[in-house]
Amino acid sequence: MAEAHQAVAFQFTVTPEGVDFRLSREALKHIYLSGINSWKKRLIRLKNGILRGVYPGSPTSWLVVVMATVGSSYCNVDISLGLVGCIQRCLPRGCGPYQPPQTQALLSMAIFSTGVWATGIFFFRQTLKLLLSYHGWMFEMHGKTSHLTRIWAICIRLLSSRRPMLYSFQTSLPKLPVPRVSATVQRYLESVRPLLDDEEYFRMEMLAKEFKEKTAPRLQKYLVLKSWWATNYVSDWWEEYIYLRGRSPLMVNSNYYVMDLVLVRNTDVQAARLGNVIHAMIMYRRKLDREEIKPVMALGIVPMCSYQMERMFNTTRIPGKETDTLQHLSDSRHVAVYHKGRFFKLWLYEGSRLLQPRDLEMQFQRILDDPSPPQPGEEKLAALTAGGRVEWAQARQAFFSSGKNKAALEAIERAAFFVALDEGSYWYDPEDEASLSLYGKALLHGNCYNRWFDKSFTLISFKNGQLGLNAEHAWADAPIIGHLWEFVLGTDSFHLGYTETGHCLGKPNPALAPPMRLQWDIPKQCQAVIESSYQVAKALADDVELYCFQFLPFGKGLIKRCRTSPDAFVQIALQLAHFRDRGKFCLTYEASMTRMFREGRTETVRSCTNESTAFVQAMMEGSHMKADLRDLFQKASKKHQNMYRLAMTGAGIDRHLFCLYVVSKYLGVSSPFLAEVLSEPWRLSTSQIPQSQIRMFDPEQHPNHLGAGGGFGPVADDGYGVSYMIAGENMIFFHVSSKFSSSETNAQRFGNHIRQALLDIADLFQVPKADS
């Protein structure tokens, strides 16, 4: 068969005359093209490394400096102040190309010019780093920009005017500063004041005072030393101790999901949608490898750190008994696919050519049409990635370290990403509110064995063509996967397109080898471990209550008329909703980013403040005038915005205390204050989902091309997880999670409180609202 010849480069048989080799020209051609493609990538990376290394300079600017030096020499003007002559005298004489005086002079001028050019680049980079360390612009009132900030913005634009590549600014980004202990402790005490009575607060003050005076100075010295030596004093410890050392299941506890476009559908053909989307994903990966993606910029001028994007593809979390590791490959030419209990390996390239969407559609249709049954133990194999990490690590070592099991597992772990073809159909029906929650549940955990939770992300495809993602959290945060998803959905909708019957454009190549079934030999003992992991995962999934809803009365457009930030508006509404739901306040986590610093990830904004609780209590009393309530709300909003800005600029609370705690463990130092701080449960964990990081289309012309964001499981067993996306001017999507096992929480009840809190706050400003 043609497929066999494409898969094997040569065959041989032993005959009486000797060994007879039979070469496959087609296979050898693909091997040759693959090698050429690999060398092209190496050359592109080398070129990008050079261009990135000299930014904001360029080879052209070097040539200009050389020409200026040579030209001034011919005009008898020594702009080097004698340095060219010194260099010329230091060059070796009397041998080969150094003998002619003209050659020596030109070489000396080239060396001098290169030195001047390199010095200029170093100066510009240090100047840019100094400018990027200025964060005063964040604390200025909207529309009231100071002269200093305007001058700063002009300087930034001048120094970064040349079109940057993805990683051009990395070495110019400032390091995350280590806050003063006294400032962090003071902000911490202020954050817990509304949660503690006088006696509890006094006890915490005493613990904080003892820590600040006795323990903290020693810990802080080590932390400052690390900040001098390391690129980022938080990120490596955060990745290791918060993510990789976690021994509980990734599913629900760590992984999160992302939804598809929910108000429009491009096609109902499952294989066709996959063809376009996976082609778009590999196009994105190609741009990523070539660094052709523009860096994300705040205000259009302040670059965000891009290092998290490096491990988006070809990355897998490998389980370990004590700690996991992240395995990242420089390239991968296939995806791993799961369908009806079978695993497949699907090649993305034919030789050096990326398969076109129509070819990929044909390949996925072949998998969908494949009638072969699962092998023993294969169907629920992925449940190992959904259960406990120790059990998975032990099973991996015992049953997947040799033979066909090792080869099949490597095909999954070395894949660009994982694709799950589901048999069910999920979508959002505005007439059926529960449909969005069911869609979210399917993405969050599926049936517990049809997602490979260790992969950097799993692309989930439903029978009706609807898609979604389930992403592992250790390698990056949600805005990174959101950047990819925006590109993919925009490319699918506005660049690739479909035929009238819903298929990909173009004609398929039927000579392509079909996807390869992965072969397993899973013994009974391993099957028992798989079943045990499945039961653990199923109990966890069954305990999750997820309530997703679309809030339509208003969005950020009308919120801005209240003269507040949309995020602060929602966060204060969450405080009001939580008090109505539970009758008390709780420690609240909101994720903010620190990507204005090199290798920055996230910081915590503690949204439950003295100001927000004062507003909530006044609302609950019901006796205050609207003007007084508006005043209290504005104070709470300003406080929240200031805390968010402090967190973004490296003056947060929790990452500093976390790192001090890690240092104390290394030194064997006991700190009751740190132990108590790090053990406090986050009963309300919240996150705003970013959008419009890439402008793939005009949202005003295509208002329905909106995703619904995504969500995550509750952080505390008796708490809530809330993610929200302020989707354009007139709607907000919410994803609320809790656990059925807690008698104190109910996701739908809390979601209804959120709705009412938003409407009640809007009513204070007499904001016109549609019917809810």
Using CA atoms, how far apart are residues 753 and 761, in angstroms rounded to an integer? 12
From 334, 339, 473, 753, active-site residue:
473
Residue at 243: amino acid letter: Y
Q: Is the dihedral of CA 652, 653, 655, 659 positive or negative?
A: positive
Strands (E) located in 306-385? 315-318, 325-328, 334-339, 342-347, 349-350, 353-354
DSSP 661-679: HHHHHHHT---HHHHHHHH
Between CA 414 and CA 333 the distance in angstroms is: 9
Taking the alpha carbons at both ends of the chain, their separation in whole angstroms is 62
Q: Which two tokens stand for residue 98?
A: 């150094």
Query: For residues 436 and 242, is the Cβ–Cβ distance under 8 A?
Result: no
DSSP-assigned beta bridge partners for residue 28: none
How far apart are the C-alpha atoms of 686 and 667, rounded to whole Å? 33
Dihedral angle sign, alpha carbons of residues 328, 333, 336, 337 = positive
Which ranges of 668-772 would DSSP assign to H, the alpha helix?
672-679, 747-764
Residues 6+ apart with CB under 8 A from 289: 41, 44, 45, 331
Residue 579 CB partners (closer than 8 Å, separation 6+)? 585, 616, 620
Closest to 604 in 3D by CA, of 656, 565, 527: 656
Q: Are 402 and 518 in contact (CB under 8 A)?
A: no
What CA–CA distance (Å, rounded) separates 449 from 249? 13
Cα 303–Cα 307–Cα 312 angle in degrees, nearest 5? 125
Secondary-structure percent of the chain, ordered helix, strand, coil, rounded to 5: 50, 15, 35
What Cα–Cα distance (Å) separates residue 502 from each residue in 423, 704, 727? Answer: 19, 19, 27
In contact, 451 and 420? CB cutoff 8 Å: yes
The token duo for 657 is 């205390």
Contacts of 35 (CB under 8 A, 6+ apart): none
Q: Is 135 a catalytic residue?
A: no
| Contact status, residue 686 vs residue 676, Cβ threshold 8 Å | no
353 forms bridges with which residues in the sheet? 350
The helix/strand/coil state of 687 is: strand
- Copy the structure tokens of residue 659: 């790192």
Which residue in the block uniquely carries the two structure tokens 């994720």? 591
- Please give the Cα distance from 720 to 740 (Å, whole number): 11
Active site residues: 473
